[in-house]
Structure 1
Amino acid sequence: MQVIQNKEASRFETSIDGETAFIEYVEKPGAVLLLTHTCVPRQIAGRGVGTKLVVETLELIRRLEFKIVPLCPFIVAYLKKTNDFQDIIAPKLH
């Protein structure tokens, strides 16, 4: 799965079988991204696309040297299951 950053739409996205799954974000000062929403179209749901999208997006964010604030419940739930991405979680914003 290849995830790209679509800066114009403020999201990370991938296309599968003609459908686009994505994670929306809000960019904050200091190279911080608020990850606000994950969307996997019904046509490609149930195949692990959401989890793969989260993993690939977090790896891309790491390479881009951003930090994240996970606000999307799906991403929060994933991060509770792994310690693989603790290094990119930003301190709480005030």
Structure 2
Amino acid sequence: MNHQLIDNEEAKQYEFHIEGQTPRIEYIKTKDKIYLTHTEIPKGLEGKGIGTALVKQALDDVKKKDLTLVPLCPFVALFIKRHPEYKALVLKGINIA
């Protein structure tokens, strides 16, 4: 399952378009940091790995853009905990328990 990540800067969110629905991760961007604040997967798309795919692609984009990540969303923080290769993106001093 490969969905196209869209960085919707106007809406301040990363999103997929699936079956007329929009799973998304809301963010706040500053010059060199990105705060991932909230992940939302529409009912009916839950439990299909879409949230995980969305977080992975969003983090890959953060890495590509060389931004420092502040994961305020618990779902994103849990993903990073399970995939420590993404810890290098996180702002120094933030502990993901």
Fold similarity call, TM over 0.5: yes
Change (3 A) 1:32 1:92: farther
**What is the SS of the residue equivalent to 1:9?**
coil
Q: Deviations over 1:14-64 (max 9, x none)?
A: 1111110110011124x1011100000002111010011000110011111
- 3-state SS of 2:54 partner: helix
2:22 is the alignment partner of 1:20: yes
Q: CA RMSD in A?
A: 1.4
What SS is found at the alignment partner of 1:61? helix
Indicate the residue corresponding to 1:89 in structure 2: 90
Scaled by the length of structure 1, the TM-score of the pair is 0.90
Per residue, is there more strand in 1 or in 2? 1
Instruction: Give TM-score, length-normalised by structure 2.
Output: 0.87
Gaps of 5+ in 2: none
Unpaired runs of at least 5, structure 1: none
- Percent identity reads 34
Count of residues in Structure 1 that have an aligned counterpart in Structure 2: 92
Choose between structure 1 and 2 for higher RCO, CA contacts under 8 A separated by at least 6 residues.
Answer: 1
